[in-house]
Amino acid sequence: MSHIVTIRTEVRDTEALGLACRRLELGEPIHETVPLFSGEATGYTVRLPDWRYPVVFDVEQGQVRFDNFEGRWGEPAQLNRLLQFYGVEKCRLEARRKGHSVLENQLSDGSIKLTIQIGADH
């Protein structure tokens, strides 16, 4: 039986965030307070290529803060890709914790298809 799922991403898992950063060859997320154009933000920061300000993840609230001036200070596709890989890594972690195996396929449209085999060995 197949199911299509759409996920609204709330970043709450630092392990999955770190795995997503490694996949994209970004630095490890660092918990710190950083300046943004419109003030300061505290949380796990990720520096995306060519972004003027870091992206800040408040894992307690599941929220993301950033200033990219409608794409002028950073390409939104980079953040979207990070969030996509975060979702993939979070699904993989949770499935494996429950003893399931996960198959991953990159689709031609850029989306990622995960197939979770219930009760399968890793």
Give per-residue pLDDT as tens, 48-95. 999 999 999 999 999 999 998 988 999 999 999 999 999 999 999 999
Whether 8 is in a domain gets the answer no
| Total of domains in the chain | 1
Identify whether 49 is part of a domain.
yes
Grade residue 20 by pLDDT with cuts at 50, 70 and 90: very high
pLDDT at 119 over 90: no
Domain of residue 112: give its range. 14-117
Other C-beta atoms closer than 10 Å to the C-beta of 53 total 21
Question: Is 41 among the domain residues?
Answer: yes
Per-chain mean pLDDT for the chain? 91
Contact 48, 78 (CB under 8 A): yes
| Confidence category of residue 8, pLDDT binned at 50, 70, 90 | confident
Q: What single DSSP character describes residue 62?
A: T
Q: Kindly state the greatest CA–CA separation across the chain.
A: 48
On the question of pLDDT at 47 being above 60, the answer is: yes
Is pLDDT at 16 greater than 60 in this prediction? yes
